[in-house]
Every structure is written in structure tokens, then in C-alpha cells.
Structure 1
């Protein structure tokens, strides 16, 4: 029996790369076809009608509201705008299933559908920062205030609000809402990690499979390559690390519109021979790169509760991160890594060198990851949202 719609601007398989797709797939693993999926088509899935679609061996009721091309380039029109318009276009068709409960992560989707007469809406903030404060499109910043006002007013129609963020970030969100939200209404709900997939593997074996030199220090960062992820900052810090650790490589696991800019910056800094960009790879390869590493790094300007950071923890890796939401919950200072305030490349590099020398980081990281295992997701969400109890 289908209990709820899951509406997301993704194909629920591999596009687009990021935390929202990861959490959508975690929802699918936890609830299976108790969810009907409303997303996009990146293959021959027809747009505009309900079909049965097999994903990972499970038949889902599936509705594609738009077709998307899988490419690294930034689209000329923001995906948030085209997604908003496409969902609204198919109002009647989406509702024709008669499902009256919906789970949403994307703010533009929530704004598009919140007046559709739902019995219950669960909205999960994938991160509580205003995305238009640091937009992919420069002109987007002029609409940041309007967007925030609209989102907060829309939340009046939502009965369950979750936030993949730490307590400090949630408090800031409540303050910004100008009375629309209060702290008791926003439930701290971290993302999860699949510890059946992301787990320790033999470092020597995976390095041999990936063609990585056994004696090198390997530093890894995962995710979409755009400026919000701070790849430029990581390159600056890595250049400092290379002075004391010459046999060190930095591997970016992922792809994105800034890939060429990253390569150009690495060449400008004279470290291009020590930088590897994998392009898009699946989870089976991501787990190998994590296990091949000696250190995981996060240089982001903002994050929700980082799924990639959880995956690194589940592989037993130390982490050095900027002070993004959730970092201090996942990193015990000096035990399994360091959280760095500010954006001083030298300070970050010092922390990277210190983290490479930590002796018991694996045990600490694995213990923290165990608190956020996917195995608990169904029970934990059911406590707060009755349709999936």
C-alpha cells in the first residue's frame, strides 16, 4: 500500500549528484514502495503520466514531471525555476493517484504544491541556509529576501518540519523566520548513512584496484564541483600541505560545472600533477576512494547535514572540515579530526597535517557513524510523521 508521495527534482537513481538525492534514496531503502515517486526523467521514462518503474529491484508508482539531460554544465535556466513550473503544470495528473500525504525536500517544490489540499505535508530542510545568498546564478541574490519570505509563509501549510542541521543552525533559522517558526516546531533530523555499503575495506586492496600508489598520502573530498563546496579553498590549503608532505595527492570524487576552473586553478598553483578529479562515479567506487584515503576534507561555505561526511566516518576516516552545520556533531576535536573556523588556508593545512597523524581516529569515526545508520531511519521518521509510522 502506498502511504505517501516523495516529490524531488531527481531521477531517484543517480541524478543530480548531491545530498538531496542521497537522502531520497535512503527514504526508498527505508520505506520501499510505500512511497510513490514524483521526479524527473533522464532516460526513456515518459513525462506526464503515472507508470510502474523498477528501481533497484522494486516496482514503484512513478511520475516524471520533466525530462533532464545528464551533463556537467550549468543549465541556462535554473533547475529550481524549471522544476517549480513543471510540477505546477501537472497538478491534476500528480493528484490523480489519490495520495494525500507528501514528503518534500526541495523548497521550490514545496512552494509549488503546498496549496494542493494535502492531508499531511512533511518538509525536510536539506540545509537551513538561504540558497540565494550564494547562488549559482549571480542575479539570484537580489531575490534572496523575497524567496525567504515566501518559504516561511508557505511553511504555515506544513504539519511536520524536519531540518538536516545542527542546533545552532536551527536556532538561526527560527530567528530569521520573524515569528513564522518556533524552535519546538523544527525537528533536528540528521541524514543517514548506509553502513552496509559504506564500511571499512582493506586500504591496500582498494588502492591496487584504483591504481593509487600504496605509499602516498591520499586526501579525498566528495561532491559536486561548484564554488559553494570550496574546492578553491581546498586547493590553497593543499598547496601548503605539499610543502611538508610532498608525496600527497588530493582526489576530488565527483563532477560539476567548475571542473575546468578547478583544473586551471591547480595549474596556476603548480600542483596539477597531485590533483585527481574522478568525474561522476557510483557508490561502489565512492566507497573505494574513501577507503583508499588517509583523510577526508570538507571546504564548503555551507552544508546541511553532510551525507558525504557521514560516509567518510562510516569508512573510519578522520575529517578536517570548515565550520559547516553538523560538523561539530560528527567530529571530536583532536580525536577524529578538526573543525576550522574561518577560511585561512594555512590554518586548514595545519589541521590536515595534524589529522594525518591521528592514531585512533578510525575507532572514533566508526562509533559516531553508528549513531546515524540508515537502519534506524524508518523508526525515527515514523516517530514524527504518522503517514510513515
Structure 2
């Protein structure tokens, strides 16, 4: 099968969607399929290259309003797109997704779209633009694809509510018949248990501190970093043997650094900056607890990666997170934007003896090998 993966961003631009497309593409190739990734040339690099066996075509980007690369040259690829059996688009909130209702009329190729969660910036004007898009153009995109893949039932329900339709258009689950739920996945070859003390030593971290880890770009309030830092001001009043490490680059670095200093948390909260993705398994294995304080999520890759390393999880009840953390055997849930609740659950988690084997057992169903098989099933269905 020949599959085009069309995504606004791809590696080395780093994020959950980029890793999703990378891992899916690699596993499709491992199963004998032919894959080409078509993306924006951001950050600028070679227009065509092979990355870990994946052919990547990068299109000229004219700008990135609301983190949305504008790549009108995709309309010049009509004859190229016709050679594929399936076109798989990523992120409904993108220029590339918006272009495909037009391109499909000429390509006549089955189109699958993965909906990577609700877009939220945590900034009023930007979020208003997103809501306007949702009420206008997003439905056109979703109704033009053969199948939409939602990462969570929460997202599938949201698609259903916004797109309307009759009862005959819906499956027994209540979702539109062209919407299926397939969760995110993780690379179990990279994200696997390692010795915590050895990982702390390799990263130069103090061995006698309980390490709380967060991994996420510092690009907007939506990731909830300010609430994690606020929660740490409460946590250190109860115990001093803690260290919170936030890994990720972004424009909020200075803002968060000022917050840390204003709360006198310099000895307890560290902004580690961006790290290569290949180094993230070390950080996850070095921690005692992984925390995700987001205000909005789809089905975050790093949550599955933490589970793959056998680490307990404290996260907010947003998006697909509660659908995965269904037992307190491997994680605790908190209300978003609530530093008191977050502090309480972190303290509870740090005091508890966790069953690593139960956490690893939970993670096994989310390996990319298993997720890829489900997505190939979707491809087969649209081809039939």
C-alpha cells in the first residue's frame, strides 16, 4: 500500500503530532508499506530527504499564523498525490487539511484524517479565531474525508456534536459512522524501564531528591506550567526532598523563570530547556513521578511514554487522559487549573509504593506496533 502522510509539521520540528506521524510512518514501512511524508519546510531544510527510511517532502512555507503553516504549493502536487492508495491528513486545524476538500475532487483517492485533539492556546483572541474556524470550515474538512480517526472518545463525541447529522449517520456508539477512536501510541523500543539511580547520575541530578518531571513545550498557557509551579510552592511546605524538572523549549521560559523566583522555588523547580527526543527516555526513567498539568490535551504521547518506562502519572481530567488513566493503580487525576488539587495528588503519589508491573501492563496495548495495525485496518476499510 502506498500512503501519503500530510502533516503541517514534521521532525526536526518536535511535538506530539510530529512524533505520531514519525512512529506511524516507521511502523508502516516495517510492515512493508510505502510511505511519503509531505510537510511544511519548518524549520527550513532540504526540500526532499530520507529520514530513518521515510521519504520526506518539504513544501515552501509562506507564514505560520496561529501555528498553521501556509503551503499553497501543495496544489501543485496533484499528479504526485494521485499515485497513492491512501492520503492520511494530520490536524484538522491546518491549511493542508482545509485544502483537501478541493484536492479530493481531482485526486479521487480515499482520505483519512487524524484529529489530534482540540486546539487551545489559552489566549482569548487566538482561541476566538479557533472557535470561529470550528463553527465554519472544520465541518467541511471532516465531512470531506472518508474516515476521521479521533485519539479519544472525548474528541469523537466533540466531532459528533459539532457536525450534527441524523441517527442513520451514526454508529451504535453514537459517533458519526466515519469516525473511529484509535488512541495514541509510544515506541516501546526506546521507552522502556531503566535504573532510576543510574539515569539520575547520567543527567547530573541529585540522587536523594524525589524527582517530579514534566515534559512539554513552553509555548502557551494551555500546558498548565504555571499551575505546576504554583503547586510546588504548596508541596515544599510539606516536604523538602523534592525537585520538579520541566523539560521543554518555548517563549514562556522567562515568564516561568520569573514565577519560580518570585515564589522562592529556585532550589525546587528547574527549567531544563529543550532536549533531544532520544534523551527523553533518560529523563523519564530518572523521575519518580510524571506530572501533566495541561488545560487541554488530545491523547498526549508523553503520557504513554511515561507508562512505558513504568512511571506513575498525575494528570488533569482533560481530553483523552481520563480514558487512559482508568485506575489509580497507575495514575491519579486532578482538576485542571487547580494548584491545590494538583499539590495534594502529587504528595499522595510521592508517598505511595507504586506497582511498576501494573503500569507496564497498562502500557502494552499502546505500543506503536499495535496502534499501526488498527490504522492499517482503517486504510483497508476505506479502500474497500
- TM-score > 0.5 by shorter chain: yes
1:157 and 2:147 correspond: no
SS in 1 for 2:346: helix
User: How big is each residue's C-alpha offset from its partner over 1:62-105, in whole Å with a ceiling of 9 and x where there is no partner?
Assistant: 3211259xxxxxx884331xx2x31x333123543533431111
Which runs of 5 or more residues in structure 2 are unaligned?
A: none
**TM-score, scaled relative to structure 1:** 0.87
Partner of 2:36: 36
SS in 2 for 1:235: helix
User: How big is each residue's C-alpha offset from its partner over 1:151-171, in whole Å with a ceiling of 9 and x where there is no partner?
Assistant: 112222110111011x24422
Task: Tell whether the 8 Å contact from 1:193 to 1:310 is kept in structure 2 after alignment.
Answer: yes
Q: 1:44 to 1:326 in 2, by over 3 A?
A: closer
Task: Tell whether the 8 Å contact from 1:219 to 1:294 is kept in structure 2 after alignment.
Answer: yes
1:241 and 2:235 correspond: yes
Higher mean C-alpha displacement, 212-221 vs 37-46:
37-46
Q: 1:268 to 1:373 in 2, by over 3 A?
A: same
1:173 and 2:159 correspond: yes
What is the CA distance between 1:286 and its match in structure 2?
Answer: 0.7
Match of residue 194, structure 2, among 192, 197, 201: 201
Partner of 1:222: 215
SS in 2 for 1:191: coil
Q: How does 1:1-389 map to 2 (within 5 A)?
A: 3-11=2-10, 13-15=11-13, 17-32=14-29, 34-41=34-41, 42-46=43-47, 51=48, 53-56=49-52, 58=53, 60=55, 62-66=56-60, 77-80=65-68, 83=69, 85-86=70-71, 88-93=72-77, 95-96=79-80, 98-100=82-84, 101-107=86-92, 108=94, 109-117=96-104, 118-127=108-117, 129=118, 131=119, 134=121, 138-142=125-129, 144-165=131-152, 167-179=153-165, 182=170, 183=175, 184-225=177-218, 226-386=220-380
What is the CA distance between 1:137 and its match in structure 2?
Answer: 7.4
Which runs of 5 or more residues in structure 1 are unaligned?
A: 69-74
Task: Tell whether the 8 Å contact from 2:87 to 2:110 is kept in structure 1 after alignment.
Answer: yes
Q: Distance in 1 between matches of 2:190 and 2:356?
A: 17
Q: Distance in 2 between matches of 1:240 and 1:278?
A: 21
SS in 2 for 1:243: coil
SS in 1 for 2:103: coil
What is the CA distance between 1:3 and its match in structure 2?
Answer: 0.7
Task: Tell whether the 8 Å contact from 1:30 to 1:377 is kept in structure 2 after alignment.
Answer: no
**TM-score, scaled relative to structure 2:** 0.88
Q: 1:339 to 1:273 in 2, by over 3 A?
A: same
Aligned length: 365
User: RMSD of aligned C-alpha atoms?
Assistant: 2.3
Task: Tell whether the 8 Å contact from 2:244 to 2:268 is kept in structure 1 after alignment.
Answer: yes
Q: Distance in 1 between matches of 2:346 and 2:27?
A: 35
